[in-house]
Amino acid sequence: MDPRNLFETRTTYRLLRLEYLAALGLCTTLFITHWQEVRLIPALILFAYIDVIGYLPGLIAFHRSRSGKIHRGFYVAYNLAHSFVTAGLVAFLWAWLVRPEWALLAIPIHLCGDRGLLGNFLKPFAVSFEPSPHPAYIRLAAAVSGRTT
């Protein structure tokens, strides 16, 4: 992928996920190493807020929709909640207003787990909220790889 070709091949997608798995491993190791210093309730809140705000409302709307189309606001909520920029702001505010603590590692553990383990990145408006092959992408992937559809 480059600035003029905004798509991933299967190999580059897997390599990108591998980078997030490495970050997940580091964050999880730090979390476990400092387990006795981790406040569990804040860690659970910091882990869960991302999906409670960003994923569950869109998931519910998607499953209630007969057409599979949902309001763009659900995509915006998902992308804001799953952004490392937002996560950094949440962590900064928590550290400033509450205290710096190991429980904050729950945030990158969640985001790196989503990307590394599940393969979920930010959601563009043009694709289904829940993973489903887009016909245009299937054709593009076939053309780029030299296969025919």
The pLDDT tens digits for 90-146 are 999 999 999 999 999 999 999 999 999 999 999 999 999 998 888 888 888 788 877
Give domain status of residue 49, yes or no. yes
Give domain status of residue 82, yes or no. yes
Give domain status of residue 73, yes or no. yes
Residue 10 has pLDDT above 90, yes or no: no
Q: What are phi and psi of 5, to 5 degrees?
A: -135, 85
Report how many domains make up the chain: 1
Give the pLDDT confidence of 12-22 residue by residue, as tens digits.
999 999 999 99
Q: In terms of residue numbers, what domain contains 52?
A: 10-19+40-145
CA–CA gap between residue 74 and residue 128 (Å, rounded): 11
Give domain status of residue 35, yes or no. no
Give domain status of residue 34, yes or no. no
CA–CA gap between residue 133 and residue 140 (Å, rounded): 12
Give domain status of residue 3, yes or no. no
Give the pLDDT confidence of 57-84 residue by residue, as tens digits.
999 999 999 999 999 999 999 999 999 9
Give domain status of residue 104, yes or no. yes
Give domain status of residue 30, yes or no. no
Q: What is the pTM assigned to this prediction?
A: 0.91
**5: β partners:** 2
